[in-house]
Amino acid sequence: MDRAKILAGLIAVGLAGGCSGTRPLTVGSKNFTEQVILGEIVAQHLERRLGQKVDRKLNLGGTLLTHQALTNGQIDLYPEYTGTALTTILKLPPSSDATAVLTKVRAEYRQRWKIEWLDPLGFNNTFAMAIRGDQARREKIETLSDAARRAQGWVLGMGYEFQQRPDGLPGLLRTYSLKMRQQPKSMDLGLLYKAIEQGQVDLISANATDGMLSVMDLKVLRDDKAYFPPYQAAVLVRTESLDRYANLRTALEELSGKLPDQTMQKLNFEVDGKKRQVAEVAREFLARP
């Protein structure tokens, strides 16, 4: 057999293999509990509604890595937050207008990457500055402005990113003139609650849907000057994927609005606090009427 025929045969086999090996619908997520729970909920829901196996690439990594996986087609969809998209991906200034932020990121993602933002899932995982409940009641502290009036200042515990983020510590201190009694303490997010419980810090930069907020006596201080941008969670999906799977958009939209803040807090606590399996927690949530 001459070389031309051999080459033609190899190309034919390659094309046939490519067609038979088409990648199935793939759901991704970032590398923290809430994201993995959301990814699993979406995957199980799609398997039930579309009647087909859905691949999972959960716990992929941080924002930039997961965004890259979506834009280059390694995954078809994943959950993201409007404020993160605005400031971290698009490098645009923070805004406190939830509707304006969603409209902006929708337009930019569609234009730049042909990616659609579906309607939000129902919760806003913004930063939550929290103090111990007994202290809040004793000193009558309800808002961040109240906290700024505390003469002795605060010992702040925060995640590593909060000190550098455009919507993080520097702007917070400027906006509220918060007094710090010591240099803020950076730590793993999972250690914040133990630190405030043990008195190592007396103010923490938490997240609004953290599971521990649903079980500990903590007071989340109202952001009365609307410093923090909204972080509405929504599913991002490639336009190409919506075109490929006829009922994908409809199935995903059935999850919109179904996860208010309190529900997400409880789901996070089931995994982080009670150490239950993510797949089991997701299955239980989807079984609710």
pLDDT, tens digit, for every residue of 89-112? 999 988 989 999 999 999 999 999
Query: Within this chain, do residues 103 and 59 fall inside the same structural domain, yes or no?
Result: yes
Query: Within this chain, do residues 99 and 134 fall inside the same structural domain, yes or no?
Result: no
For residues 66-75, give the mean pLDDT.
98
Q: With pLDDT > 90 as the criterion, what percentage of the chain qualifies?
A: 82
Tokens of 224: 């009365």
Q: What confidence category does residue 204 fall into, taking pLDDT thresholds of 50, 70 and 90? A: very high
Lowest-pLDDT range of 60-69, 75-84, 134-143, 162-171: 162-171
Q: Residue 212: its pLDDT value, please?
A: 93
Q: Residue 35: its pLDDT value, please?
A: 96
User: What region does 2 belong to: left with phi over 0, alpha with psi -120 to 50, or beta?
Assistant: beta
Q: Residue 148: its pLDDT value, please?
A: 98
Other beta carbons within 10 angstroms of residue 237's beta carbon come to 24
Asked if residue 272 is part of any domain, the answer here is yes
Query: Within this chain, do residues 97 and 236 fall inside the same structural domain, yes or no?
Result: yes
Q: Residue 20: its pLDDT value, please?
A: 35
Overall number of domains in the chain: 2
For residues 224-239, give the mean pLDDT.
96
What is the spatial distance between Cα 210 and Cα 204, in angstroms, rounded to a whole number? 12
Asked if residue 2 is part of any domain, the answer here is no
Indicate whether 7 pLDDT > 60. Answer: no
Indicate whether 151 pLDDT > 50. Answer: yes
Residue 157 belongs to domain with CATH number: 3.40.190.120
What is the spatial distance between Cα 185 and Cα 204, in angstroms, rounded to a whole number? 9
Indicate whether 139 pLDDT > 80. Answer: yes
Query: Within this chain, do residues 99 and 234 fall inside the same structural domain, yes or no?
Result: yes
Model-level pTM?
Answer: 0.83
Q: What confidence category does residue 190 fall into, taking pLDDT thresholds of 50, 70 and 90? A: confident
Indicate whether 269 pLDDT > 70. Answer: yes
Residue 31 belongs to domain with CATH number: 3.40.190.10
Asked if residue 13 is part of any domain, the answer here is no
Order of strands across the sheet with 77-81?
55-57, 26-28, 77-81, 233-238, 115-117
Asked if residue 134 is part of any domain, the answer here is yes
Query: Within this chain, do residues 146 and 210 fall inside the same structural domain, yes or no?
Result: yes
Indicate whether 1 pLDDT > 70. Answer: no
Q: What confidence category does residue 23 fall into, taking pLDDT thresholds of 50, 70 and 90? A: confident
Residue at which a domain ends, from 185, 202, 220 = 220
* Mean pLDDT, all residues of the chain: 91
Structural domain including 151 reads 127-220
H-only helix segments in the chain: 3-20, 33-50, 63-71, 82-84, 98-113, 133-139, 144-148, 169-176, 192-197, 239-244, 248-253, 261-272, 278-287
Phi and psi at 233, nearest 5°, equal -85, 135
Query: Within this chain, do residues 257 and 167 fall inside the same structural domain, yes or no?
Result: no
For residues 130-142, give the mean pLDDT.
98
Indicate whether 166 pLDDT > 90. Answer: no
Q: Let me know how long the chain is.
A: 289
Indicate whether 21 pLDDT > 60. Answer: no
The one-letter amino acid code at 228 reads F
For residues 231-245, give the mean pLDDT.
97
Query: Within this chain, do residues 112 and 91 fall inside the same structural domain, yes or no?
Result: yes
Indicate whether 18 pLDDT > 90. Answer: no
Indicate whether 17 pLDDT > 50. Answer: no
Asked if residue 238 is part of any domain, the answer here is yes
Query: Within this chain, do residues 189 and 133 fall inside the same structural domain, yes or no?
Result: yes
Say which DSSP state 16 is in.
Answer: H
